[in-house]
Amino acid sequence: QLIQPEHVADADADLAAQIAALASMEARFGPYPWSTITIVHAPEGAGGAGGMEYPTLYTTSDIMAAKPPPWLLQERVTGLFTTIHEFGHQYFQGLLASDEFSEPWLDEGMNTFSNGMVFDDWFGAGGWVIRVGDQAVSLTELARLSLLRGADLDPVASPADAYLAVNR
C-alpha cells in the first residue's frame, strides 16, 4: 500500500476493504491469479487520479476528510467503495477481459453489482453505508437515490466516448 503521509489514518480502512473485496470476489469468481496487488493513494491535487485500475495496481480515494461526530454521521462509502470498486476491475476488466471502451456497462455494471455483494458479505445483507443519526441507508437505497438526479443520463449500452461528461 502506497499512501500519502497526510492520509496514513486511512491505511487500515483501505486494507480492511481490500481484504473484504478479495475474500468476497474469490469466493464468487475464483482465485485472484496474481501474487500481488498494490493500492496507491493519489497525492493532494491529483484527485482525478483516484479511482484508476491497472493489472495488479489501482488507485483509491480519500476517506471522508471532514469527520463529523459519529452520533451525527457515519459512512462506509468514500474511499472504501473506491478501494472495493477498483479492485473489482481486476476481475471484470482484467480476468474476464470485458472491453471497457466499447461496452463499459459490462465492466462498470458487473463490477458495481459485485461491489454490492462485497458490502453484503462484509457488513451483512442490506447493511448500512450511510447513517445519519439513527437513520440508515443501504447501498441499494443509495443507488436508487442516485437515480433521482441521473435517470436521464446516456443509454447504458453506449460506447465510452459517447457518454456525456458527468461533471459539466
Residue % of the chain over a pLDDT of 70: 92
Averaged pLDDT, 47-51? 79
Q: Which of 163, 160, 164 has its CA nearest to residue 101? A: 160
HSE on the CB side for 155, CA within 13 Å?
Answer: 5
Q: pLDDT-based confidence at 168, cuts 50/70/90?
A: very low
Instruction: Give the whole-angstrom CA distance, residue 120 versus residue 117.
Output: 5
**For 144-155, how does the pLDDT look when each residue is reduced to its tens digit (9 = 90+)?**
887 787 666 777
Find out whether 89 and 58 touch, Cβ atoms under 8 Å.
Answer: yes
Find out whether 106 and 87 touch, Cβ atoms under 8 Å.
Answer: no
Instruction: Give the whole-angstrom CA distance, residue 148 versus residue 82.
Output: 22
Taking 90 as the threshold, does the pLDDT of residue 26 lie above it? yes
Cβ neighbors of 134 (< 8 A, separation 6 or more) are: none
DSSP 2: B
Q: What is the pTM of this model?
A: 0.85
Vertex 47 angle, CA 76 and 87, to 5°: 50
Write down the pLDDT at residue 167: 44
**For 91-123, how does the pLDDT look when each residue is reduced to its tens digit (9 = 90+)?**
887 777 777 778 877 888 888 889 999 999 999
Write down the pLDDT at residue 72: 87
Instruction: Give the whole-angstrom CA distance, residue 36 versus residue 57.
Output: 8
Return the residue matching grid coordinates 471502451: 101
Averaged pLDDT, 32-37? 93
